[in-house]
């Protein structure tokens, strides 16, 4: 493959593009569909990849009825399935109204009916129907505070489930006694269906008291209405509930598959590869510091003539918001990595979110190399990290990776190239 030495940034971008392509619903969904069931078929789902998943379902089955909620800018043309766009990562009125329409469509189904539920990352915000006693504004405030807290995604989703009328198995319960097949694209560490989109079709064993404890742990300010709602219980469906007995949950694309696809491409280009894992979590700048030490150690152990090494990892990093800049976990990881590497020769890296959106910015991530700090300036780079303003800095030096909506979502993709 050309460009590995002459244009490392372009080579890293090709690895990222291969990882995204491996999770394209148009490539992976049809293999998991049964023959179209007789009788009524309803497609109900949500997530940043859900419209593309609906498009893939109709490509295999023909026109279907249903309603799918996706992020603004992520709609796809469907022949029968209605696509509604709403806000992510903080829910809005469009998502709340569409969710109520989803629940209406599930009323009155029988055991002769079939529901296909395409679910992907983003469904937590897009499927938004607050529990009684909690307003949309209150739900938005809790969600925004959680996103800024640095809390792991699994703990965020526990809180979201108990403030929702659809998460934690409640969507599946609303469809009972119809048969349901939930096809999921995983964006969570461990690929646990209970945490993909906050598990709208999966039972959950947590209690409202757990959500209250997490709000206190992460110092999330909440209104009296939220506290009263959680103290009064929730509708989260426990595992083993009979209303879940006709539901099958199946993960059809996951970070590990995308990392392996990128590794295959790197090996074909003559590189050695090392995969650190597909479910890394932690503060972006802290993980970057660990990865910088690893990259420097790997570089120091190299001998003349050794092939290039690509170190890959996935998962979902977090950012504790300290400043008012424009950032995201992938850009912040790259900035912290550049600072920790301090211009080390022969080390390049890319970190991007596979949905094309890093944090709330319409930018997938960034790419760095030995000249990054020289181009950006060490002091401006340090200040950008302190103020969570990595995207502004990378935009200034033309080091952002911009893809637009990728129509899939298998979480963060990180690649370090040592040449």
How do residues 281-293 score in pLDDT, each as one tens digit?
A: 999 999 999 999 9
* Three-class secondary structure of residue 184 per DSSP: strand
Confidence of residue 4 (pLDDT cuts 50, 70, 90): confident
For residues 380 and 154, the model is more confident at: 380
**Residues 57, 104, 186, 48: is their CA dihedral positive or negative?**
positive
87-91: long-range pairs with CB below 8 Å, 24+: 87/125, 87/126, 88/48, 88/122, 88/125, 88/126, 89/122, 89/125, 89/143, 89/147, 89/360, 90/125, 90/140, 90/143, 90/144, 90/147, 91/125, 91/126, 91/128, 91/136, 91/139, 91/140, 91/143
Asked if residues 53 and 29 have their Cβ atoms less than 8 Å apart, the reply is: yes
Residue 51 — pLDDT band, cuts 50, 70, 90? Answer: very high
Look at residue 166 and tell me whether its pLDDT is greater than 60.
Answer: yes
Question: For residue range 27-50, what is the model confidence (pLDDT) as tens digits?
Answer: 999 999 999 999 999 999 999 999
| pTM recorded for the entire structure | 0.91
234-258: pLDDT as tens digits: 999 999 999 999 999 999 999 999 9
Q: Mention every residue, 6+ apart, whose C-beta is less than 8 A from residue 35.
A: none
* Residues facing 407 on adjacent strands: none
C-alpha distances (whole Å) from 25 to each of 1, 50, 328, 403 are: 27, 9, 25, 17
Specify the residue for token string 């934690």.
168
Percent pLDDT > 70 in the chain is: 99
DSSP labels, 234-278: --PPPTT-GGGTTEEEEEEE-HHHHHHHHHHHHHHTT-EEEE--S
pLDDT of amino acid 1: 43
Q: In the chain, how many H helices and how many E strands?
A: 16, 13
Exposure on the CB side of residue 309, measured as CA atoms within 13 A: 20
Per-residue confidence at 345, pLDDT binned at 50, 70, 90? very high
What is the rounded distance in angstroms from the CA atom of residue 117 to the CA atom of residue 105?
13
Q: What is the per-residue pLDDT for 270?
A: 97
pLDDT, tens only, 127-157:
999 999 999 999 999 989 998 898 988 899 8
Burial class of residue 212 in the structure, from the number of CB atoms within 10 Å of its CB (0-12 exposed, 13-18 middle, 19+ buried): middle
Q: What is the mean pLDDT of residues 105-131?
A: 96
Query: Residue 3's pLDDT is what?
Result: 64
Helices 136-149 & 224-231, crossing angle to 10 degrees?
A: 90
Q: Which domains does the chain have, with CATH numbers?
A: 8-20+256-418 (3.40.1480.10), 27-253 (3.40.50.10180)
Q: Minimum mean pLDDT among 65-79, 149-163, 214-228: which range?
A: 149-163
């Amino acid at each position: 493959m050309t460009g590995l030495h002459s244009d490392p940034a372009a080579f890293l971008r090709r690895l990222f593009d291969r990882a995204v392509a491996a999770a394209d619903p148009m490539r992976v969904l049809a293999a998991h569909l049964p023959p179209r069931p007789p009788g009524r078929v309803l497609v109900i789902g949500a997530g940043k990849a859900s419209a593309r998943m609906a498009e893939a379902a109709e490509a295999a089955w023909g026109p279907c009825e249903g309603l799918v909620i996706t992020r603004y800018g992520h709609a796809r043309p469907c022949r029968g399935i209605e696509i509604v766009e709403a806000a992510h990562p903080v829910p809005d009125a469009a998502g709340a109204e569409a969710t109520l329409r989803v629940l209406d469509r599930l009323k009155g189904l029988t055991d002769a009916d079939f529901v296909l539920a395409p679910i992907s990352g983003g469904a937590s915000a897009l499927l938004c129907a607050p529990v009684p006693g909690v307003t949309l504004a209150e739900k938005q405030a809790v969600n925004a505070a959680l996103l800024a807290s640095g809390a792991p995604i699994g703990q965020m989703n526990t809180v979201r489930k108990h403030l929702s009328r659809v998460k934690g198995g409640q969507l599946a319960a609303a469809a009972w006694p119809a048969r349901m097949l939930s096809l999921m694209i995983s964006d969570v560490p461990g690929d646990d269906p209970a945490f993909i989109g906050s598990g709208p079709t999966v039972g959950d064993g947590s209690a409202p008291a757990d959500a209250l404890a997490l709000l206190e742990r992460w110092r999330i300010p909440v209104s009296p209405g939220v506290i009263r709602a959680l103290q009064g219980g929730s509708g989260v469906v426990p595992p083993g509930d009979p209303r879940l007995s006709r539901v099958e949950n199946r993960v059809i694309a996951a970070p590990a598959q995308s990392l392996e696809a990128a590794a295959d491409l790197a090996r074909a280009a003559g590189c050695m590869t090392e995969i650190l894992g597909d479910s890394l979590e932690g503060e972006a700048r802290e993980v970057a510091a660990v990865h910088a030490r690893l990259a420097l150690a790997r570089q120091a152990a190299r001998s003349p003539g050794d092939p290039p090494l690509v170190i890959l990892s996935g998962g979902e990093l977090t950012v504790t918001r300290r400043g008012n800049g424009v950032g995201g976990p992938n850009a912040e990881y790259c900035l912290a990595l550049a600072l920790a590497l301090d211009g080390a020769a022969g080390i390049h890296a890319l970190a991007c979110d596979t949905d094309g959106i890093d944090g709330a910015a319409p930018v997938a991530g960034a790419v760095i190399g030995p000249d990054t700090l020289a181009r950006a300036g060490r002091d401006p780079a340090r200040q950008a990290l302190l103020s969570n303003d990595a995207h502004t800095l990378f935009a200034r030096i033309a080091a952002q990776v911009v893809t637009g909506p990728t129509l899939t979502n298998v979480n963060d993709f990180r690649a370090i190239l040592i040449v």
